[in-house]
Structure 1
Amino acid sequence: MVWRILKIPKSKTVHDQKLIRAIQNIAGFTPSNLALYKLATVHSSVAKETEQGFKESNERLEYLGDAILGAAVADFLFKKFPFKPEGFLTEIRSRIVNREALNQLAKKIGVANIVQFDNKNAHLQQVILGNTLEAIVGAIYLDKGYLRTRKFVIDKLIAPNYDLEELVNSNSNFKSKIIEWAQREGKEVKFEIVDVKKAKNHKEFTAQVVVDSQAMGTGYGNSKKKAEQDAAFKTCELLNLLTA
C-alpha cells in the first residue's frame, strides 16, 4: 500500500489572526493572500534583509498602491463630476490623496494598530501611516484585483470620510493661508527644507515654517511641496487659522 503524505496547513499565529481581523475591519473582507498584507505593514526601518541582500519592506507595495489609489480616485471623480475641467479634478484628487490627508485617514481607520516600524524614531509615526495605507491598497490590488480595490477606495475610504461638497468649497492650500496671514499681520514668513533623508526608492523631506525668525510647524513628505504643505498645516493649527 502506498501512503500519501498530506501537508497539514500551518496554523495561523496570534499576529496573523490580529492582522486578518484588522484587514477585515479596514477593508471589509478576509484577505486571500495574507503574506501581501504582512509585507504591506512592514516599514523599512524594521525590514529584514534576505539572503539576496534585499530588504523586505512595504516600499514597493507603497509605490504600487500610490498609483492605484490615484487612479481609483481619478476614476471616481471623473464620473462624479462629468462637466468639471481637468484642473478641478486634479485639485480635488490632490486634496483627497495628499500626505497629510492620508496620514489622518490611515490613523482614523486603524492602520496605526498594525504598522511595524522603529518606534525609537519619534517622527516616523507622523509620516508612515499614509505610506502604509498606500501599501495596503497595493496589497489589495494584487490580492483582489482593480475592481475590488476601487470599491474599497470608494466605499471604505472616500464615502465615510470625506464630505465632497465641503472638500470642493474649502481652501486646503495651507501654505497660501500662512502667506496671506503673514501679509495681513506684517510678519516675515519662510518655508525651509531642513533635512532630506534618502531611502532606497524615495527621499523624505523635512520642512520648517519660520515666522519672524521663530520656528513654527515642522512637516514631512516625499517631496518638498508636500513637506512644506504639511509644515504649513501644522502652523495653521498653532495659529488657529484652520477655521479662518
Structure 2
Amino acid sequence: MKILKNIFQKSRSKEDGIFFNEIQTIIGFKPQSIIYYQKAFTHRSTNQMDLKGNPMNYERLEFLGDAMLSAVIAAHLYNKAPAGDEGYLTKMRSKIVSREHLNELGRDLNLIRFVESKVPTQHFGENIHGNIFEALVGAIFLDKGYDYCEKFIQKSVIIPYVDIAKLEGKVISYKSLLIEWCQKEKKSFFFDVFDDNGNDGQKYFGVKLSIDNKVIAKARATSKKKAEEKAAQRAYFAFQEKIDNK
C-alpha cells in the first residue's frame, strides 16, 4: 500500500485533501482507502506501473465497475418487474447501462476534472465520461464492498434515472431498431458510408441510408457509428408509425 501511495501522491489537490473531500461528496460516504479512487482517474497515457510491471490506470476498475452496475441493476429490475421475462429484463438493463447513459452520468458529476493524463482532455472521446464512472463504481466496490457499491448506484443511477414505464419506450439504438424492422418486413437496407470532410480540419463521415434501393435518410458525424445512428434515427421518424405498430 505504501508503494501505491508513493505512485499516486503527485498533485497538490490530492495531497492536501481536496480530492478526498470532493470524492466523499460525490459518493456520499467517507472513503476508507483513497488510493482506489486515485487509480480510478489515472489514464493509461501516464504509463504508471507498479513494482511488478502491472499498469496502474482505471481500465481494470472500469471492467469491475461495469460488472457491478450490471449486477445491481439486474437485481433491481428482477424485484421491480416481476412479470418481465429474461428478454424484457435484459433489454431494460441495456437501456439503463447504455454507453450513452453512462456518459451522461459521468458528465453530470463532472468526473473528467479528476483525470490525471498526459493527453489534453479535449482530445478524449465522448466515452471517457462513462468509462471513469464505471471505474469509480469499481473503486467503491474494492474500497467499501458490495453494500456501499449498491448504495451509490441506488443514489446516483436508480433513484434519479430509472423509471421503468419511461424506459419501456426509450430507444437506445435506432440502427438496431430499424434493422430489426427491415428484416421482419423483408425489406433490403444499406448504409453507404463515405468521407465527408469540411474546411475546418475535422474528419467527418457521411451516410446515405437506403431501404428497398431508395435513399431514405442522410447524416454526417465525426465517426461512422454516429453517422449511421443519426441516419437511422431520421429513417425511424420517417417510418415511425409502421415501426411502432409492427
- Normalised to the residue count of structure 1, the TM-score between the two structures is 0.70
What is the CA distance between 1:99 and its match in structure 2?
1.4
What is the CA distance between 1:19 and its match in structure 2?
2.1
Q: Are the aligned partners of 1:48 and 1:56 in contact in 2 as well (CA < 8 Å)? A: yes
What is the CA distance between 1:233 and its match in structure 2?
4.7
Query: Where do residues 203-218 of structure 1 align in structure 2 (5 Å cutoff)?
Result: 210-211=207-208, 216-218=220-222
**Distance across 1 between alignment mates of 2:118 and 2:174:** 30
* Residue of structure 2 equivalent to 1:47: 47
Tell me which amino acid in the other structure corresponds to 2:57.
S
The 3 A distance-change label for structure 1 pair 149 and 62 is same
* Residue of structure 2 equivalent to 1:126: 126
**Distance across 2 between alignment mates of 1:79 and 1:191:** 43
The 3 A distance-change label for structure 1 pair 120 and 63 is same
Secondary structure, in 3 states, of the residue corresponding to 1:36? helix
**Distance across 2 between alignment mates of 1:36 and 1:134:** 13
Q: Are the aligned partners of 2:208 and 2:231 in contact in 1 as well (CA < 8 Å)? A: no
**Distance across 2 between alignment mates of 1:174 and 1:120:** 32
Q: Could you list the runs of 5+ residues in structure 2 that have no partner in the other structure?
A: 1-8, 183-187, 195-203, 210-214, 241-246
* Residue of structure 1 equivalent to 2:69: 69
Cα-to-partner distance string for 1:96-153 (whole Å, 9 max, x where unaligned): 1121211111111221221233434755241211111111111100111111111211
What is the CA distance between 1:191 and its match in structure 2?
6.6
**Distance across 2 between alignment mates of 1:216 and 1:98:** 22
Q: Are the aligned partners of 1:187 and 1:211 in contact in 2 as well (CA < 8 Å)? A: no
**Distance across 2 between alignment mates of 1:119 and 1:52:** 25
* Residue of structure 1 equivalent to 2:191: 189
**Distance across 2 between alignment mates of 1:122 and 1:187:** 36
* Residue of structure 1 equivalent to 2:56: 56
* Residue of structure 2 equivalent to 1:153: 153
Is residue 145 of structure 2 the alignment partner of residue 141 of structure 1? no
**Distance across 2 between alignment mates of 1:172 and 1:209:** 21
The 3 A distance-change label for structure 1 pair 15 and 72 is same
**Distance across 1 between alignment mates of 2:193 and 2:69:** 29
- Normalised to the residue count of structure 2, the TM-score between the two structures is 0.69
The 3 A distance-change label for structure 1 pair 86 and 237 is closer
* Residue of structure 1 equivalent to 2:13: 14
Q: Are the aligned partners of 2:65 and 2:139 in contact in 1 as well (CA < 8 Å)? A: yes
What is the CA distance between 1:13 and its match in structure 2?
4.4
**Distance across 2 between alignment mates of 1:114 and 1:121:** 11
Q: Are the aligned partners of 1:209 and 1:235 in contact in 2 as well (CA < 8 Å)? A: no
What is the CA distance between 1:235 and its match in structure 2?
5.3
Secondary structure, in 3 states, of the residue corresponding to 1:107? helix
Q: Are the aligned partners of 2:77 and 2:89 in contact in 1 as well (CA < 8 Å)? A: yes
Q: Are the aligned partners of 1:61 and 1:136 in contact in 2 as well (CA < 8 Å)? A: yes
